[in-house]
Structure 1
Amino acid sequence: MTITVTTDEAVAAPAVPTFAEATRVWAKIGLLSFGGPAGQIALMHKELVEDRRWTGEQRFLHALNYCMLLPGPEAQQLAIYIGWLLHRTWGGVVAGVLFVLPGALVMLGLSLLYVFFRELPFVDAMFLGVKAAVLAVVIDAVLRIGRRALASPALVAIAVAAFIGIYAFRIPFPLLIAIAALTGWLGSRAMPQLFVAKGHGAKGSAADDAGVVDGMFARGELTHADPSSAGFLKVLALWLPIWLGPVLLLWLLTGSSSVWTQLGAFFSAIAVVSFGGAYAVLAYVAQAAVDGYGWLSTGEMVDGLGLAETTPGPLILVLQFVGFLAAWRAPGALDPLLAGALGALLTTWVTFAPCFLWIFLGAPYVEALRGNRAISAALSAITAVVVGVIMNLALWFALHVVFDAVQRVDVLGASPYVPVLSSVNWRAAVLAAAAMVAMLWFRVGMITTLVASAAAGLIIGYWLA
């Protein structure tokens, strides 16, 4: 691989951080990573590009583009990527683990509180407000991502088609991703201007874009970033067993029908198809976990998302909540709380372990493909699909929050969800409208909106009931 870096870049690049210094920064990012992927990526950009210049702007965006193509939480994968560039495999491991660990511990504590106090009337009323705020958060995510990603009529058309496909015809999400990637790839050759998403930032001069990693490339110090067949096979042989070994062991010990095997197999599969982050895959997870396995109810799924919104770390930690409730309700010979904690641990493991595999396998090749227009076009089309899928999630949440009864209807080969109009919940509708006005019109922060909505739900749903 040939990397061309100007002398000015090498000179301008700051000193390489020590492993201990990097660890402290990754811990700080993990503790402060509220606000979903947009807020987390903005935080990393400030810490890594603006404040410390550990990587240049263009390399940061190139890594982010690759992470957006992957299944799983793109913000955590971006941390792994940059940690790997700076300090090889252990740097990526520390960055990825510290990005998830604080939120996972908080989520476990909230899950314990949830099963103890969920049935109290005032807690139920409080979650009425939380659900309304979650709806506003998801709609805000649609608008934010849409403004950035849908830069042409072609990308808007892809987003709308994806929404119709998954909402009305239940087309599998991986199939939508594959069609979008192929469309973007071919479109980059016929009409490349139609498949370019809006940039994340302006490119400055060579010196402005210089960072620690750019200087390391200039000095030939990043030999681990050179792609090789031997390195590829070594990563595969190490990280594939780390990910799937516990699932296989649980299958051998407990059988194929145990909750442990079901959790490990299901969420391992989700880890492979969860393109676009948590918002994009949650509708499918909710349908399978609620209707397929019966691990929890629709209301509990929305409650879990509300809890995940209040914790640092990736929003996909809501899956940990699902794993906790599933094992807590089917503990076998174990204490229910111990079973729930183990279910949460298993779900977290199979959700995030693959992220290390994707980065360590693919990052060397991605570094060799910087500037490839076809890959950028495929990414733009995939991001457009993600917008359409999040639109579907927003509608799914709206129906289940505002109405107490929702059903599927068959119309001309389509089977969309429609509400039972007589089941409208006026309290939830008012709270959701207020939360949307707060976030979309007055730009109130997510955490503030969640807290205020919970308090309003307590007043409307408990004290004024």
Structure 2
Amino acid sequence: MEPIPTAPPPPVTFGEAFRFWLKLGFISFGGPAGQIAIMHTELVERRRWISERRFLHALNYCMVLPGPEAQQLATYLGWLMHRTPGGIVAGALFVLPSLLILVALSWIYIAHGQMPVVAGIFYGLKPAVTALVLHAAHRIGTRVLRNGWLWGIAVAAFVALFAADVPFPLIVIAAALAGHLGGRHAPQRFAAGSGHGGGGVRGHGPALIDDDTPPPAHARFTRAGLVRVLLAGLALWVLAMAALAAHSGLDGALAAMGWFFTKAALLTFGGAYAVLPYVYQGAVEHHQWLTGPQMIDGLALGETTPGPLIMVVAFVGFVGGWTKQVLGPDALFAGAALAAAVVTFFTFLPSFVFILAGGPVIESTHGDVRFTAPLTAITAAVVGVIVNLALFFAYHVLWPQGFSGRFDIVSAALAVAAAVALFRFKWGVMPLLGACAVAGVLLR
């Protein structure tokens, strides 16, 4: 066993951080839980760029925002280390590899139809994704669920979602209220990071941004800074919408996509699955950008590519751009790729604004239990939500035609093997996905 370091690592250059965020964009499989687990392993345990307590504090904030929490967490950490350019680079590189891969896969899907090799890859990857989500829930749960109170919140959240189908925003509100009351009457139970080796020598050694490291100058709250970020975000939105309206009018497909996915971005509490019914209703039933079966196929693509699962909207944009011929019948691919980029821009722009505007406020509260207690309770609730997501995946993987259909014993065996590889043998994400993809091709 290696000795625990006693000194923090050297300062991280912008170039070194850029290379890490680029790598993360290509390996961030497993949905938000898996992506957050990867960031924790790399940034807290191995590189020690930030302490666990500061990491969880930032994560708690991202959990309560609409939008993809893993991408927002990357943006937050990049901003904390290297100002606004660092945040933009971290957040953008979390998304861009996924966008490029999805555009390529969407083109293969729509132009060349179903391919047996691709179907085999998906067949092997889905059980692996199920195991990854369950493993990530275990890892986050062991860090967050430090006492019976937090366990109770996690169990209650799971039951509310699994048995009563309670909307995720109500679960967040209830958990925040429980944390607020718990923080007043039993603050030691809700202190962020208490009792589980946060930053400092007890855990992985002192971090570059440790528990007691004061916020850097750019992370201190000012009203002028808040106004600048809000105005910049609004200006980008207005300019982009104006350009789309000038191209094809406000009633054109591109402008309609921009407006629709702006609304969707503000409703994504609880991750992609919470907003998918809204996207399905608007994209399939109202705008008819794609069909229902195509939407399901797009979700399968989103599940098996790196980046946030909400990137399924890029598939929706690509197919919609192709179907509506937004740049004419002679430029189907260019129009579809443009539509995918437009949808991605409007889906993620609010996330950057939330982080760059709210980050300074959050940095001023990381030692205030009145603020951290509700967020700690929300994180505990999200553990229950992630377990529910793992069961959702397992249901669709093991009973592809529903409970009335056959039980897929081969997928079950792959899921068990993937879980053993993760829990027992500590496999990395990429080796696991590669092995399962090869197994899927051979089996199909």
TM-score under structure 1 length normalisation: 0.75
C-alpha change, 1:231 and 1:242, in structure 2 (3 Å) is same
Q: 1:382 maps to which residue? A: 378
Matched, 1:337 2:333: yes
Identity of matched residues, %: 47
Partner deviation per Cα, 1:21-51 (whole Å, 9 max, x = no partner): 4434433444444454455445545655566
Q: 2:112 maps to which residue? A: 117
Q: Which amino acid aligns with 2:18?
A: T
Measured in 2, the distance between the counterparts of 1:215 and 1:374 equals 18
Q: 2:413 maps to which residue? A: 434
Contact 1:283 1:396 in 2 (8 A): no
Measured in 2, the distance between the counterparts of 1:145 and 1:289 equals 34
Q: Which amino acid aligns with 1:237?
A: L
Measured in 2, the distance between the counterparts of 1:29 and 1:243 equals 27
Matched, 1:316 2:310: yes
C-alpha change, 1:243 and 1:98, in structure 2 (3 Å) is same
Among residues 353, 360, 370, which one is paired with 2:349 in the alignment? Answer: 353
Matched, 1:77 2:72: yes
After TM superposition, the structure 1 = structure 2 runs for residues 43-442 of structure 1, keeping only pairs within 5 Å, are 43-45=38-40, 48=43, 54-121=49-116, 123-163=118-158, 165-166=160-161, 170-192=165-187, 195=190, 201-205=197-201, 208-209=205-206, 211=208, 217=214, 222-243=216-237, 245-247=239-241, 250=244, 254=248, 258-278=252-272, 281=275, 285=279, 295-296=289-290, 300-301=294-295, 303-332=297-326, 334=328, 335-403=331-399, 419=402, 421=404, 424-426=405-407, 429-442=408-421
Q: CA deviation at 1:437?
A: 0.5
C-alpha change, 1:249 and 1:50, in structure 2 (3 Å) is same
C-alpha change, 1:17 and 1:196, in structure 2 (3 Å) is closer
Measured in 2, the distance between the counterparts of 1:213 and 1:139 equals 29
Measured in 2, the distance between the counterparts of 1:186 and 1:153 equals 15
| Unmatched 5+ stretches in structure 2 | 1-5
Measured in 2, the distance between the counterparts of 1:316 and 1:95 equals 17
C-alpha change, 1:420 and 1:309, in structure 2 (3 Å) is closer
Contact 1:134 1:305 in 2 (8 A): no
Q: CA deviation at 1:189?
A: 1.4
**Bigger Cα displacement from structure 2, 176-185 vs 353-362:** 176-185
C-alpha change, 1:51 and 1:299, in structure 2 (3 Å) is same
| Unmatched 5+ stretches in structure 1 | 1-10, 406-418
CA RMSD of aligned residues (A): 4.0
Contact 1:62 1:370 in 2 (8 A): yes
Measured in 1, the distance between the counterparts of 2:20 and 2:73 equals 14
Contact 2:290 2:323 in 1 (8 A): no
SS at match of 2:75: helix
C-alpha change, 1:202 and 1:296, in structure 2 (3 Å) is same
Q: CA deviation at 1:372?
A: 1.6
Contact 2:261 2:343 in 1 (8 A): yes
Measured in 2, the distance between the counterparts of 1:80 and 1:290 equals 31
Q: Which amino acid aligns with 1:360?
A: L
Q: CA deviation at 1:232?
A: 0.9
Measured in 2, the distance between the counterparts of 1:215 and 1:163 equals 34
SS at match of 2:367: coil
Partner deviation per Cα, 1:315-357 (whole Å, 9 max, x = no partner): 4333322322233333355333223212211222122222221
Contact 2:421 2:432 in 1 (8 A): no
**Bigger Cα displacement from structure 2, 337-346 vs 119-128:** 119-128
C-alpha change, 1:203 and 1:91, in structure 2 (3 Å) is closer
C-alpha change, 1:283 and 1:129, in structure 2 (3 Å) is farther
Contact 1:283 1:393 in 2 (8 A): no
C-alpha change, 1:94 and 1:158, in structure 2 (3 Å) is same
Measured in 1, the distance between the counterparts of 2:362 and 2:394 equals 39
